[in-house]
Homo-oligomer: A and B are copies of this chain.
C-alpha cells in the first residue's frame, strides 16, 4: 500500500478515497472452473473498494475470459497448450468419474486416478512455465508495484511469483485431497481420530474401523501427494537455484481463506492464519416468474403446458423462493451453500470430485438424503424427495444450518476482503504464522524429545541394574568367602 503513488489511479477508480481505504494493486494467478467462479465475488468486492485487480490470463483457458468484465486488468501470457487440450483433459476426467469408475475395481481406480491427476499436474506446470518464460510480462509485473497475490493454490506457481515480486501471498481454497496442502504445507493440525480426511466420505463421528480407514486414507494421500508434488519440488528448486520443496513454498502463504464454515464443516482444530469464509457468493433471492424448468435439450412432447423451459435460470433466486421445498443437487459446494443460505433441504446426486463427500456432510447434519447416480431409479428419487419434503427434521436441520450460516460476527465476503487488505496494509501477516513451519516432522511430533527421554530412562535403569548386580555379586562373594573362612 503506497498511498501517495496511488492517489491518481485511486481518484480515477473513484471509491478508495471516499471510503477512507488505501487502494492497492492485487495480482491474481490463473485458475479454472469453479475455482475461478469462487474468486470472482471477492475480486468484484475488491474492485468496488477501489483496488486494482490484475489477472494473469493464459491464451488457453475455458472459464477465464478477457471480455467477461472490464473491471479487471489483464496480463496475457502464452502457454504451449490449446483450450481444446484443456477441454479434452476435463472431459477425460468427467468420463472417468461419472461412468468408467463404476466398471473398475479399487486398484484400477487408484491407478487411473493417479494417471489423470499426474497428467493434470503436468499441464498445470505448463502454465507456470508459460508465465515464467514471458520476460516482457515478468518485467511489467516487477514494475507493477503489486501489494499482494491472491490465488487458489490448486493451480501452483503463485508461490514463485510471490517470491519473485517479494509480496504477500493469500490463498483461497475449498479443500485439497485429504487436506494434504492444508496439513502438510499449511501445518494445520488434523488428528485422524476425529478429523475425517477431505473426500474420505467419513464424518467426525467415527467407529474404530472408520478411524482405521481414515488413518490409512491420510497415510496413502500423504504418500501420493508428496510423490506427485516432486515435479513441483524440482521445478521450484531449479527456478530459484536453491533446494526447496513445493510444500515449503506453500508454507509461506500469509493467509488461507477456506471457502467453508462450521455450518458445513465438522468442527476441527485450525491455525490463526486460516479463516473460514464459506458462503462468499451467497446473496438474498430476487423475485421469480411462476414456474420454471431449466432444460437445454429438445422439448419433450409429454411436457405439461404449465412447465416452462429455460436454458439457464437463477438457482439462488429459486432456492430463496418461499415455496421451494427441496433442492435436487449434484453436491457442489456453491449449490450446497446457496441451499444452506436459504435453509432448503437437499436430495444429492453426487457425480465427481468433492461432491460425494460434500453430500455426506449434509446428510450427517440431517439436511439431505443421497442418491447413487449410476444405480438410482425413478422411485428412489421420488422417495428421496418425499422424505426431505414430508419429514420435518430435514427442513428443521436445513434451517438450523441456515441460522448458523447467517449468524456470524462478520459477513464472509467482508472477512475475506479484510484479510486481503490486512496483508496489504502490513506487508504480510507473519504474526499469525506458526513456528511449526521451522520444524522437521519428527521434531514437530516431539519424537526426538521422546527418544532422548527414553534413552535417559534406559540409561538410569541400566546403571541401577549394574549397581544392583555388583552389590548382589559382592554380597554373595563375601558370604561365600566368609563361609570358606569358617
Contact = CB atoms under 8 A, between A and B. Distances in A.
A41 to B, nearest CB: 17
A269 B434 contact: yes
A431 to B, nearest CB: 5
A418 interface: yes
Interface string A263-303: 10011111111001000000000000000000000000000
Contacts of A205: 435, 438
Contacts of A270: 269-272
B431 A263 contact: yes
Given A410-B409, A426-B407, A444 B194 contact: yes
A257 to B, nearest CB: 13
A192 interface: yes
B269 A189 contact: yes
Given A193-B445, A269-B189, A403 B426 contact: yes
A204 B449 contact: no
A436 B212 contact: no
Nearest to A452: B212
A228 to B, nearest CB: 24
Contacts of A74: none
Nearest to A274: B269
B271 A267 contact: yes
A369 B94 CA distance: 62
Nearest to A218: B446
B434 A194 contact: yes
Contact of A415 (B208, B409, B431, B443): B409
A276 to B, nearest CB: 8
Contact of A262 (B188, B431, B439): B431
* Copies per complex of this chain: 2
Nearest to A216: B453
B267 A269 contact: no
B434 A204 contact: yes
A407 B422 contact: yes
A6 interface: no
A372 interface: no
A211 interface: yes
Interface in A185-204: 188-189, 191-194, 204
Contact of A267 (B208, B410, B434): B434
Interface string A416-453: 00110010011000011111101100011110111011
Contacts of A93: none
B432 A267 contact: yes
A235 interface: no
Contacts of A452: 208, 212
A199 to B, nearest CB: 19
Contacts of A431: 262-263, 267, 404
A435 B262 contact: no
18 contacts: A189-B191, A189-B269, A191-B445, A191-B446, A193-B436, A193-B444, A193-B445, A205-B435, A205-B438, A206-B435, A215-B450, A262-B431, A267-B273, A269-B269, A269-B270, A270-B270, A272-B276, A404-B426
